[in-house]
A and B are shown apart, each in its own frame.
Chain A
Amino acid sequence: MKINPEKLPRLLTWSLAALALLSFLWWLTWDPTRSLTQSLPGMDNRGAGGAGDTVLIGALFDRFSDEYTPLGETWPRFRGAAFDNISASPVPLREKFGSSGPEILWSVQLGEGHSGAAIYKGLLYLLDYNEEEYADFLRCFSLTSGKEQWRRGYKVHVKRNHGMSRTVPAVTDSFIVTMGPRCHVMCLDRASGDFLWGIDVEKDYQSEVPLWYTGQCPLIDGNTAVIATGGTALMIGVDLRTGTKVWETPNPGNWKMSHSSVMPFTFGGRKMYVYSASGGMAGIAADGPDRGSLLWQTSAWNKQVIAPSPVCMPDGRIFITAGYGAGSMMLQLKENGGSFTADVLYDYKPSEGFACEQQTPLLWNGHLFGILPKDGGALRNQMVCVHPSDTRKVVWSSGSDKRFGLGPYFMADGKIFLLHEDGTLYILKPSTTGYQELDQAKVIADGHDAWAPLALADGYLVLRDSKTMVCINLNR
C-alpha cells in the first residue's frame, strides 16, 4: 500500500493519540494490588466452640492414709496470710545449704502445671490435673513425709497448654476452696475432704476461660469465698457453708477473667477487693451494706493477658504489671467524701522500667522487688529493685550473669528465697542497695518451667517445677 506522504503526519498524530488513549485506559483499569489477598477474621477456620461438657464437681474421692505429723503453722493461700508473700513465721531458716546441700525431704510427681501449695498445720493441699483419669484433684499430703492422705476431684477434659493446673487453694480451719483450670470452683471440708458445693464459672456466668487456663487463686474472706468470674458478673461472694451467692458485682463493661487474683485492700476507711480484669481494673466494696458494689473502676489498664496481681500500698498507690508486651502502670487511689477515683500516675512499656510477667512483685522496706520479663530490655530476667516513687528508675539489678526466667520468689526469716525456672533455689539477703546472694543449689534435677508460687510453714519449703514437687527442710 502506498501512503501519501502528505497524510503521514496526520496518520502519525492519530496513531499516537490512539496509543495514548489506550495507555490511559490501561492505567485507569490497572489494579496494582490485584495479587494481594485480604487477611480477614475467620481464615483460621476456628469453630464456634462446643457446648461444653457437664462436670460433676466433687464427685470423685479417694482416701489413702491418715498418718501425718500435726504442726502449728500455715501458708493458707496465694501470697500467704497477709497477701504480701512475706512469711511471718518466727522459725529460723538456713541461710546457706552447706556442703551437704539442701535437705530434700520428699518429692512427688505431678501433672504438668504450675499450681502452688497451701499448707495448714502439717497438711499440704495442691490442685493437680491427672491426665490418665481426665480429672482435677485437690490432693492432700502430709507436709513432713509427702504421703498422700486423700484426694477429691471431678472429671473434666483439660489438654496440655503450657501446663494445666495453675492456682493455689485457699484454706481455713474449716474450708478449702479451689479453682480448676477450666474455672470450676470446689469447696470442701478441710479436715475430711467432704464436698460442700461447687460452681462451674464458665457455664454459670457465661465467662471465658483465660488463655492457657485460669491462674486466678480463689480468696476466702471471713465466711465468704470471693471469685472474680467475668462474664455476666465481675465478681461474686459465696457463703462458704451453703454455697449461696450473697452478693454479685455487675459487669456492664463485659470485662473478662484474667489470671490475676483478687487482693483485699483497706483505704480511705473502706475495705475493698482490688481486681485487675482483662478489660480494666476495679475496687469492689468488701464490707458494709453496699458489699459487692463498685467503689471505683478504670479501663486505663486494659491488657490481654495479666498474670500478676495488683500491689496495693498504704498511701493509695496501686502498682499493676503484666507481660506479653503490656508493661506496667502506677495508679493513685483517692477518696473524697466516701467516693473513690483512680488516677493514672504513669505507665510504660516493659523495656522502660520495672515489670513482671508471671509473679506479683514483693513490697518490702518501701521498695518493690521482682524479675523483669523477657522483653524487659537489657535487664530482662534479672531481679530488680525499684522505689515506688518512680518504678521506671532501677535502684539495683542482679546483673547480666544472674537471670532467673519466670520463677517465683518470696521472703521469710529476713531472706528472699528465689527459684530459678530451671529448679535452682537461691537465698538472697534483702537489700535496697544491691543484689546480695547468700547461697544457691539445684533442688530439682532437670527442672523446667518452675513458675508456681512457693509455700512455707514450720521451716518446710514447698516448691515445684512443671512436673515435680519437692519439700525442703530449711530449719536451722
Chain B
Amino acid sequence: MADDKIKSRREFIQGGVRLSLALALGGIGGLAAARMTGEKWVWQIDPFLCTQCGRCATDCVLTPSAVKCVHAYDLCGYCDLCGGYFKPGSNALNTGGENQLCPTSAITRKFIEEPYFEYIIDEELCMGCAKCVKGCTSFGNGSLHLQIMHNLCVNCNQCAIARVCPSNAISRVKVSDAYQVKGSFTKPA
C-alpha cells in the first residue's frame, strides 16, 4: 500500500508544472478581471496648491497642453476690473487686445448689467499658462483655476508636468475623483 503513494520523479515534475500553470493562468485571469472591473487612475491638479508657475503650458507632452483654465462661476465676483482678464495697469477696462492678460485671447468678457461682467473660457484657445489664474488669485476670489482635461490628457505613466511642478500640486487619483473644481469643492481645514 505504501508503495502506491510514492510518486515517480516524472509524476512529481508533471504535477508541479500543472500546478504552476494553473496558478499562472489564475493569476493572469484575476489581474485581467481586476483591470477590467477596477477604477483607473488619472492625474489631477489641486487648485489650492497650484502656484500658477506657468509650467503646465510648457511641460505637458501635448501641444497645446491638456491643462486648461476652468471657471467656478459661483465664486466669481463678476467684476468690471477683473484681475484675470485685464493686465495690471491696463489703459482702459474694455475688450481691446492691448488690455487683455490672456496671450491667446481665450477669455470672453460679456456685459450682464452694471456693474457685472461674465468671463467665459474658450477651452480651444486656452493653453494653460495660468496668467489669468494668477491675476484672479491675487486680486479676486480665485474663481479661475487650472484643471487637467481628461478628454485631452494621454495619462502618461509619469506626468511630465507633475515632475516639474514646484508645489507638488499634481497627483494621481482615482478616475472617480478626476477633477477638483473650486466652488462646489472647498479646501479642507
- A residues neighboring B (CB under 8 Å): 37-47, 49-50, 159, 161-162, 211-212, 303-305, 323-326, 373-375
Contact = CB atoms under 8 A, between A and B. Distances in A.
B168 interface: no
A211 B79 contact: yes
Chain B CB count within 10 A is highest, among A43, A44, A45, A46, for: A44
A328 to B, nearest CB: 14
Contacts of A39: 95-97, 100, 105
Given A159-B114, A374-B137, 18 more contacts: A39-B95, A41-B94, A44-B109, A44-B110, A44-B111, A44-B117, A45-B110, A46-B111, A159-B116, A161-B115, A211-B81, A324-B81, A325-B83, A325-B139, A326-B89, A373-B138, A375-B138, A375-B139
A328 B77 CA distance: 26
Contacts of A37: 105
Interface in B96-110: 96-97, 100, 105, 109-110
Contact of A325 (B89, B111, B137): B89
The 4 closest A-B pairs by CB, nearest first: A325-B88, A39-B97, A41-B94, A43-B95
Contacts of B137: 374
A66 to B, nearest CB: 40
Contacts of B138: 325, 373-375
Nearest to B80: A211
A303 B96 CA distance: 19
Nearest to B110: A44
Nearest to B105: A39
B92 interface: yes
Contacts of B95: 39-44
Contacts of A161: 77, 79, 115-116
Interface of B: 77, 79-81, 83, 88-90, 92, 94-97, 100, 105, 109-111, 114-117, 137-139
Contacts of A49: 114
Contacts, number: 71
A44 B77 contact: no
B90 A162 contact: no
19 contacts: A39-B100, A39-B105, A40-B97, A41-B94, A42-B94, A44-B95, A44-B111, A45-B111, A46-B94, A47-B114, A49-B114, A159-B114, A161-B79, A323-B139, A324-B81, A324-B139, A325-B138, A374-B138, A375-B138
A159 B88 CA distance: 25
Query: What is the predominant secondary structure among interface residues of chain B facing chain A?
Result: loop
A324 B94 contact: no
A304 B81 contact: yes
A37 B108 CA distance: 12
A83 B31 CA distance: 74
Nearest to B94: A41
Contacts of B90: 304
A417 to B, nearest CB: 25
Contacts of B115: 159, 161, 211
A325 B110 CA distance: 24
A343 B13 CA distance: 97
Nearest to A210: B81
A375 to B, nearest CB: 4
Chain B CB count within 10 A is highest, among A40, A41, A45, A50, for: A41
Nearest to B86: A304
Nearest to B92: A41
Contacts of B117: 44, 46
Contacts of A303: 89
Contacts of A159: 114-116
A44 B110 CA distance: 4
A404 to B, nearest CB: 16
Contacts of B89: 303-304, 325-326
A281 B115 CA distance: 27
A42 B95 CA distance: 6
A325 B89 CA distance: 8
A324 to B, nearest CB: 5
B187 to A, nearest CB: 13
Contact of A162 (B77, B100, B110, B111): B77
A430 B143 CA distance: 36
Nearest to A380: B138
A124 to B, nearest CB: 29
Nearest to A325: B88
Nearest to A39: B97
A124 B78 CA distance: 33
B103 to A, nearest CB: 12
B138 to A, nearest CB: 4
A324 B88 contact: yes
Contacts of B110: 44-45
B139 A374 contact: yes
B79 A212 contact: yes
A303 B92 CA distance: 12
Contacts of A324: 81, 83, 88, 139
B186 to A, nearest CB: 13
Chain B CB count within 10 A is highest, among A46, A162, A303, for: A46
A469 to B, nearest CB: 23
A159 B138 CA distance: 23
B80 A47 contact: no
Contacts of B96: 39-41
Contacts of A375: 138-139
A109 B184 CA distance: 27
B36 to A, nearest CB: 43
Contact of B97 (A38, A211, A326): A38
Chain B CB count within 10 A is highest, among A162, A324, A373, for: A324
A323 B83 CA distance: 11
A40 B116 CA distance: 19
